[in-house]
Amino acid sequence: MKFPYGLSDFSKIILGNYFYQDRTGRIPLLEAAGDQLIFIRPRRFGKSLLLSMLEHYYDLNRASQFETLFGALAISQNPTPLHNQYFVMKWDFSLVKAQGEVKDIEAALHRHINLCIRRCARDYQLDVDIREDDAIDSFGSLLTEIRLSDHRLYLLIDEYDNFANEVLMAGQGRGHYESLLYGEGLLKTVFKAVKAAAGGQGLDRAFITGVSPVVMSDMTSGYNVGENIYLEPAFNDLCGFTEAEIAAVLARMAGEGGAWPAAEALETMRTFYNGYCFSEEAQESLYNPTLSLYFLKYLQNHGRYPREMLDENLAMDRNKLTYISRLPHGEALLIDALRGDDVVTVPQLARRFGVQDMLNAVKDQPFMASLLYYFGVLTWVGLTPFNECVLKIPNLVAKSLYVERLQESWLPEYEDRLRIQQVSKHFCQTGDLQPLCDFVEQRYFQVLSNRDYRWSNELAIKIAFLTLLFNDRLYMMVSELEMDRGYVDLSLIVRPDMRRFQALDLLVEFKYLGLKELDLTGEQARERSREQLTTLPAVAAKLDEAESQARHYGATLRERYGLADLRAFAVVAIGFERVVWRAL
């Protein structure tokens, strides 16, 4: 098999005999959904390939290639009457430079649209007047020629919100954005021209993709005819892979000589890449397509899993969590997402909001959680009995971004990073927890005690250990793994492909005692030895409770993963002062 990692050209994929997960059967549903559609998905989720497929299906110049390109796909059994009936033009706003002065950005936008118009005119032999300084006028000239023909235009727009995302992530350029989108700004004028073109001026259909609905809200008066389909259950898996599809690919690869168990590979991919859902009515979650192809191609070429499970092409997602963490209460939201059950509950998703809202409005949890949902680092779970939206971190790769952001925010010094590597390695190789507990007492508690959070409890110590021990290079690290109607606080299961290295399987159960519960001051807690603290009845009881849970969960983990030497620990935090522990 050949995997099209990094490819978004439909014809190259089909003609090159690359793997293609057929989504052409949805074309009739897309046509029925409306003439001007807006489809939002996170970065690198297959939107550009979807547009390329539509381009090849509707392009009248490719009519002779229909059987070659689509003959083996679902749509060939019952093609719609509209196939190969359009002039097709594509705008890709990710190619428009969003830096510089407003006039520079406007000039770049004019150049890009004019370039696309030139290509369209050349491909269909249309006589179009190009105005270098006025792409809107050029667009009008193209539409005039199209109206004289027997065909109409299908306009594809990729990454329509690219400029807004650049503004948000960079934390600057607000004035530029307003100049382009408010009043008679150029970007707003462009979409007004698209809207007018659809009113009998030659444009019949448009398909627009992006990452968030930000720009669409700001340009409502300029373009209020688009129909949002991104939350519709019928299009939940329009981009992305289902588990059955991934399982079929792995089984085929194994049948072609793969020297690894397909079931094991599927479980690994499920842990790291599965979990995305974009509709409350969808029946199943999805695998991130870019990460999946990255994994599958590496597995095909090397016969083993990639060392780094996070493809660096998705590293830009770190910027989105950085943006959220710097908003008022944003850091608390990241912590909330990492708490025991890994879910965030909000009254409803924000479906339309503008950059003004992002820059000026009070950043409440529903607002920020909605942004993280659109960015792809939170995903849909379901509804509460009170009709609230439940969101969660989709998978281990996404969770790694949260952990990385908190560690960078709390312990940014080089010396801290070096010490974290040392103490976490020592624990993972030897099972000796003491150096890690010392570091938590000496450094982490200083950070946590200076933050006014509502989670001064068991969550504090859990978050501390999670951010210190997270290592997806060696481990499938799961917080609150569901086991027998209960939840393991933290389990570090060595990845199947990493068992040749010196690393232990680990399980940790946490408990918390406030200083008031022990009738101690912080100074008194610091003065006592660990042995003295563990003899206190309340501390001993908490250690016993954590040990009982760790033994119970440990037995289930050993059976589930076939672990011969799982090390389990009971850990109790005493305020933000001390940590005591017991190895089982």
pLDDT at residue 378 in the model: 92
Are residues 184 and 304 part of one domain?
no
| Other Cβ atoms closer than 10 A to 292 | 24
Taking the C-alpha atoms of residue 219 and residue 353, their distance in angstroms, rounded to an integer, is 11
Taking the C-alpha atoms of residue 19 and residue 3, their distance in angstroms, rounded to an integer, is 5
pLDDT at residue 551 in the model: 95
Token readout for 139 is 């667009």
Are residues 419 and 528 part of one domain?
yes
Taking the C-alpha atoms of residue 274 and residue 269, their distance in angstroms, rounded to an integer, is 7
Residue type, 275: G
pLDDT at residue 506 in the model: 97
| Other Cβ atoms closer than 10 A to 346 | 20
| Other Cβ atoms closer than 10 A to 560 | 11
Taking the C-alpha atoms of residue 88 and residue 124, their distance in angstroms, rounded to an integer, is 9
Residue 487's DSSP bridge partners are 482
Are residues 209 and 229 part of one domain?
yes
Does a structural domain hold residue 325? Answer: no
Q: Which helix (H) or strand (E) holds 533?
A: helix 530-534
Residue ranges for the chain with pLDDT beneath 70: 164, 167-177, 181-183, 219-222, 313-317, 340-342, 352-363, 449-456, 479-486
Does a structural domain hold residue 138? Answer: yes
Listed in sequence order, the residues at least 6 apart from 78 whose beta carbon sits closer than 8 Å to its beta carbon are: 28
Are residues 212 and 266 part of one domain?
no
Are residues 255 and 209 part of one domain?
no
Residue 149 DSSP one-character state = S
User: Which contacts of 185-191 are long-range, i.e. CB under 8 A and separated by 24 or more positions?
Assistant: 186/106, 186/109, 186/110, 187/109, 187/163, 187/215, 187/219, 188/218, 188/219, 188/221, 188/222, 189/136, 189/222, 190/109, 190/113, 190/135, 190/136, 191/219, 191/222, 191/223
pLDDT at residue 361 in the model: 54
What are the pLDDT digits (tens) for 493-546?
999 999 999 999 999 999 999 999 999 999 999 999 999 999 999 999 999 999
Between CA 481 and CA 446, with CA 364 as vertex, the angle to 5 degrees is 60
Does a structural domain hold residue 387? Answer: no
Are residues 527 and 427 part of one domain?
yes
Does a structural domain hold residue 320? Answer: no
Of 80, 81, 86, the C-alpha closest to 61 is 86
How many distinct structural domains can be found in the chain? 3
Does a structural domain hold residue 523? Answer: yes
Does a structural domain hold residue 555? Answer: yes
Residue type, 581: W
Contact 504, 431 (CB under 8 A): yes
pLDDT at residue 34 in the model: 96
Positive or negative CA dihedral for 71, 74, 80, 84?
negative
Are residues 557 and 521 part of one domain?
yes
Are residues 449 and 543 part of one domain?
yes
Contact 485, 339 (CB under 8 A): no
What are the pLDDT digits (tens) for 100-148?
788 888 899 999 999 999 999 999 999 999 999 999 999 999 999 999 9
Are residues 148 and 25 part of one domain?
yes
Are residues 267 and 219 part of one domain?
no
Q: Which domain holds residue 104?
A: 10-235
Contact 221, 227 (CB under 8 A): no
Taking the C-alpha atoms of residue 282 and residue 261, their distance in angstroms, rounded to an integer, is 30
pLDDT at residue 12 in the model: 98
Are residues 249 and 226 part of one domain?
no
Contact 139, 113 (CB under 8 A): yes
CATH of residue 189: 3.40.50.300
pLDDT at residue 172 in the model: 53
Taking the C-alpha atoms of residue 487 and residue 494, their distance in angstroms, rounded to an integer, is 19
pLDDT at residue 520 in the model: 94
pLDDT at residue 318 in the model: 74
Residue 93 DSSP one-character state = G
pLDDT at residue 455 in the model: 52
Are residues 564 and 441 part of one domain?
yes
Does a structural domain hold residue 324? Answer: no
